[in-house]
A and B are shown apart, each in its own frame.
Chain A
Amino acid sequence: GEDVEQSLFLSVREGDSSVINCTYTDSSSTYLYWYKQEPGAGLQLLTYIFSNMDMKQDQRLTVLLNKKDKHLSLRIADTQTGDSAIYFCAELQYHNNDMRFGAGTRLTVKP
Chain B
Amino acid sequence: DAGVTQSPTHLIKTRGQHVTLRCSPISGHKSVSWYQQVLGQGPQFIFQYYEKEERGRGNFPDRFSARQFPNYSSELNVNALLLGDSALYLCASSLEQGSGGELFFGEGSRLTVL
Contact between B105 and A98 (Cβ–Cβ < 8 Å)? no
Contact between A98 and B108 (Cβ–Cβ < 8 Å)? no
Question: Chain B 88-100, CB within 8 Å of chain A: the 1/0 string?
Answer: 0010100001101
- How many residues of chain A have a CB within 8 Å of chain B? 26
Residues of chain B with a CB closer than 8 A to A94's CB: 98, 100
B73 sits at the interface (CB 8 A): no
- How many residues of chain B have a CB within 8 Å of chain A? 27
**A contacts with B: majority SS:** strand
Contact between B100 and A42 (Cβ–Cβ < 8 Å)? no
Also in contact, A48 and B33, with CB within 8 A (given A98-B56, A101-B43):
no
Also in contact, A4 and B42, with CB within 8 A (given A42-B107, A45-B105):
yes
Question: 6 smallest A-B Cβ distances: which pairs?
Answer: A101-B42, A97-B56, A31-B100, A43-B105, A42-B107, A97-B48
Binding site for A on B (CB under 8 A): 4, 33, 35, 40-45, 48, 55-58, 90, 92, 97-98, 100-108
